[in-house]
């Protein structure tokens, strides 16, 4: 397990008119990865960020770790597209895939495979997928929108995963704040996705520093 807790600013909450400046600022603050939410209006009731956004970020920031979170009903159709666009990690939803082959394919394409769980999905339902997932992304809100309140019971799945011996990364996504970051890290979560709490903060540097001090 990595030592430092990582911060992954979610560009969903960035000022899109100034995306380049916003990403530059996030990286300057020490962002360990950039979280890019891709929504299809079907798996979740919202639309966001297609592959061209990933491509533009890759072009502008060749060394950034781009953590792409696919909230899609049929993620298997787009794996090659996001690999070509330059994703570093590709996270699919357990509720949207039928077989672990999707995770295997993500790895074959040179990306880090991640598995995301919606709030209602228990750890017990995904045990067949875990050995192939280098990361588990625990949704701590219903996926689709930024700015919601974190549901603590979702984050507690991290403790269960660690108890099962899961040694990959565990990220937590939705409603992560300056105030709750410490207790999330204590559960065994090593990567904190932060949209609103980072990009809308008065002092994003202080937020990143706090996460790195946990
Ligand atoms: C929500 C997205 C999140 C979102 C989090 O469905 O998956 O990544 O950006 O936003 P905050 O941190 O504002 O809850
Ligand atoms: Zn996300």
Tell me if 146 is assigned to some domain: yes
Q: How confident is the model at residue 117 (pLDDT cuts 50, 70, 90)?
A: very high
Q: How confident is the model at residue 1 (pLDDT cuts 50, 70, 90)?
A: very low
Tell me if 120 is assigned to some domain: yes
For residue range 6-50, what is the model confidence (pLDDT) as tens digits? 999 999 999 999 999 999 999 999 999 999 999 999 999 999 999
Within 6 A (CB) of ligand 1 lie 10, 12-13, 35, 37, 69, 141, 143-148, 173-176, 193-197
CATH code, domain carrying 208? 3.20.20.70
Ligand 1, closest atom to CA 197? 12
For residue range 67-116, what is the model confidence (pLDDT) as tens digits? 999 999 999 999 999 999 999 999 999 999 999 999 999 999 999 999 99
Q: pTM value? A: 0.96
Q: How many domains does the chain have?
A: 1
Angle, alpha carbons 87-92-94 (nearest 5°): 165
Tell me if 138 is assigned to some domain: yes
Distance, in Å, from the CA atom of 107 to the CA atom of 103, rounded to the nearest integer, reads 7
Tell me if 1 is assigned to some domain: no
181 pLDDT higher than 90: yes
For residue range 156-177, what is the model confidence (pLDDT) as tens digits? 999 999 999 999 999 999 999 9
Q: Which residues contact 187 (CB under 8 A, 6 or more apart)?
A: 155, 156, 158, 159
Tell me what pLDDT residue 180 has.
97
Determine the distance separating the centroid of ligand 2 and the alpha carbon of 2, expressed in angstroms: 21
Helix ranges (H only) for the chain are 19-28, 51-60, 79-85, 101-108, 152-155, 157-163, 181-186, 196-199, 204-212
Tell me if 108 is assigned to some domain: yes
Provide the annotated active-site residues. Answer: 37, 173
Structural domain for 207, as ranges: 6-212
Q: How confident is the model at residue 129 (pLDDT cuts 50, 70, 90)?
A: very high
Tell me if 83 is assigned to some domain: yes
């Amino acid at each position: 397990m990595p030592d430092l807790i990582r911060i992954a600013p979610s560009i969903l909450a960035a000022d899109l008119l100034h995306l380049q400046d916003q990403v530059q600022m996030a990286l300057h603050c020490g962002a360990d990865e950039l979280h890019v939410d891709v929504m299809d209006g079907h798996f979740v009731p919202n639309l966001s960020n297609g592959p061209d956004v990933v491509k533009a970020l890759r072009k502008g920031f060749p060394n950034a770790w781009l953590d792409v979170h696919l909230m899609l009903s049929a993620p298997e159709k787009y794996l090659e597209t996001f690999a070509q666009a330059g994703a570093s990690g590709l996270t699919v939803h357990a509720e949207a895939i039928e077989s672990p082959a999707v995770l295997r394919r993500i790895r074959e394409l040179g990306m880090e495979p991640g598995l995301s769980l919606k709030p209602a999905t228990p750890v017990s339902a995904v045990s067949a997928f875990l050995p192939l997932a280098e990361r588990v992304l625990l949704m701590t809100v219903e996926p689709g929108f930024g700015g919601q309140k974190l549901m603590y019971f979702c984050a507690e799945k991290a403790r269960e995963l660690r108890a099962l011996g899961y040694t990959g990364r565990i990220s937590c996504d939705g409603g992560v704040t300056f105030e709750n970051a410490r207790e999330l890290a204590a559960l065994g979560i090593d990567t904190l996705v932060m949209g609103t709490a980072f990009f809308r903060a008065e002092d994003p540097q202080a937020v990143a520093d706090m996460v790195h001090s946990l």
